[in-house]
Amino acid sequence: MLERLNEALEHIESHLDQRIEVAELARIAVTSEYHFRRLFSALAGISLSEYIRRRRLTVAGAEVLAGERTLLEIAMRYGYGSGEAFARAFRSMHGVGPGEARREQAGATLRSQPRMSFRLIVEGSSDMRYRVVAKPEFRVVGKKIRVPLVHEGVNPAIADFIRSIDKETIRSVAALSDQEPEGIVGVSDNLDPSRAEGTELDYYHGVVTGAAVPEGLDALTVPAGTWAVFESSGPFPQALQYLWRDVFTEWFPSNPYRSRPGPEILRTRLSQDATEADAELWIPVERTEV
C-alpha cells in the first residue's frame, strides 16, 4: 500500500504544472478517491489539496527568483487564473508577494514544502482491538449542529452544544437506544473531503436506533453496511483523537479494508473526573481485493 501511495506522490510531482485528478491518484494507489483523501491526510498531517498547493507554490517560488518567465506565465503554469490570484496565494505561503520576491532576489526569504514520501516504521508498540460488524439500515436520532473540525484538544463548539441540551431531552433521546453502539453517541457526518482544520461537519449528539423519530429531534438515516469497530482507553480527549489517527495510519495499511462514505460514530464513557475515557469508534468500511 505504501509503495502505491509513493507512486501517487511521484505522479503529483511530475504533474505540478498540469491538472491533477484525484481519480488518477486513487487509481495509482489502487483504492477509492474517498479512501485516498482520508489516508493521505492521516499520514501526511495535511489535506491532499493543501499539499499540492504548497508544492506548486514551492516550485513557483524558485521560478519567480530565477526570472526566466514572467509572473503571469508562472501564475498560469501553476493553475492560477490571474496574476492577482497567484499573488495572494504566493503571499499567503511565502509571506511576500512574487513581485517583491523577484525584486529582492538573493535577499528574499521564501518557504518550502518538501516533497513527501511514506515509509513504514516498525515499532511494535501495541496491538489494536477491533471487530468487523455488518449492520442493517438504522437511524441516528438526537440533536444536530454544524461545527468546525478541530484536530487537537476539545472541540469548543461541540462542548458548548452538548451543554446546551437540557437533561430531559437527553433522557428521552437515550431511551430510544435499541442497538449497538448503545447509549448516547457522537456522530460526525458530511465532512469536507479535505478533512482540513476549520472545515465544517454535521455533529449529532444522539443514539443509534430503529425507532420512529419523535417530534423536535433531528435524524440521519444510515444505509446497511459494514463497520470496523475500534476500542481504546486513555486520557481524554487525546486518546480519542489518537485513535482516529492510528486507525488510518496503522490499521488500514495493514488490513484488507478501506474507508467508505458514511458517518463516523464515537461512543465515549468518561471517568468521574472526566480526565480518562473508554471509547468505541465505528468507521464505515468495505473490503478490498487482496
Q: What is the mean pLDDT of residues 2-31?
A: 93
Per the domain annotation, does 117 fall within a domain?
no
Q: In this structure, are 140 and 279 located in the same domain? A: yes
Report how far apart, in Å, the C-alpha atoms of 149 and of each of 23, 67, 181, 282 are.
25, 40, 23, 18
User: Each residue of 237-252: pLDDT tens digit?
Assistant: 777 777 877 888 778 8
- Residue 283's domain comprises 129-287
Whether the Cβ atoms of residue 263 and residue 188 lie closer than 8 Å to each other: yes
pLDDT at position 290 is 52
Q: Hey, what's the cell of 290?
A: 487482496
Closest CA to 39 of 275, 290, 288, 240: 288
Q: In this structure, are 100 and 135 located in the same domain? A: no
Instruction: Report how many domains make up the chain.
Output: 2
Q: In this structure, are 79 and 136 located in the same domain? A: no
Q: Three-state secondary structure along the chain?
A: CHHHHHHHHHHHHHCCCCCCCHHHHHHHHCCCHHHHHHHHHHHHCCCHHHHHHHHHHHHHHHHHHHCCCCHHHHHHHCCCCCHHHHHHHHHHHHCCCHHHHHHHHHHCCCCCCCCCCCCCCCCCCCCCEEEEEEECCEEEEEEEEEEECCCCCCCHHHHHHHHHCCHHHHHHHHCCCCCCCCCCEEEEECCCCCCCCCCEEEEEEEEEECCCCCCCCEEEEECCEEEEEEEEEEECCHHHHHHHHHHHHHHHHHCCEEECCCCEEEEEEECCCCCEEEEEEEEEEEECCC
Per the domain annotation, does 122 fall within a domain?
no
Q: In this structure, are 88 and 156 located in the same domain? A: no
Report how far apart, in Å, the C-alpha atoms of 159 and of each of 26, 145, 221, 271, 283 are.
36, 11, 24, 17, 22
Above 90 in pLDDT, residue 198? no
- Radius of gyration, alpha carbons of the chain: 22
- Greater confidence (26 vs 105) lies with 26
Residue keyed to cell 428521552: 172
User: Each residue of 93-105: pLDDT tens digit?
Assistant: 999 999 999 887 6
CATH code, 38: 1.10.10.60
pLDDT at position 124 is 39
Per the domain annotation, does 121 fall within a domain?
no
Least confident interval from 33-37, 54-58, 193-197 = 193-197
CA–CA distance, 159 with 164 (Å, rounded to integer):
9
pLDDT at position 219 is 97
Q: How confident is the model at residue 123 (pLDDT cuts 50, 70, 90)?
A: very low
pLDDT at position 20 is 96
Per the domain annotation, does 119 fall within a domain?
no
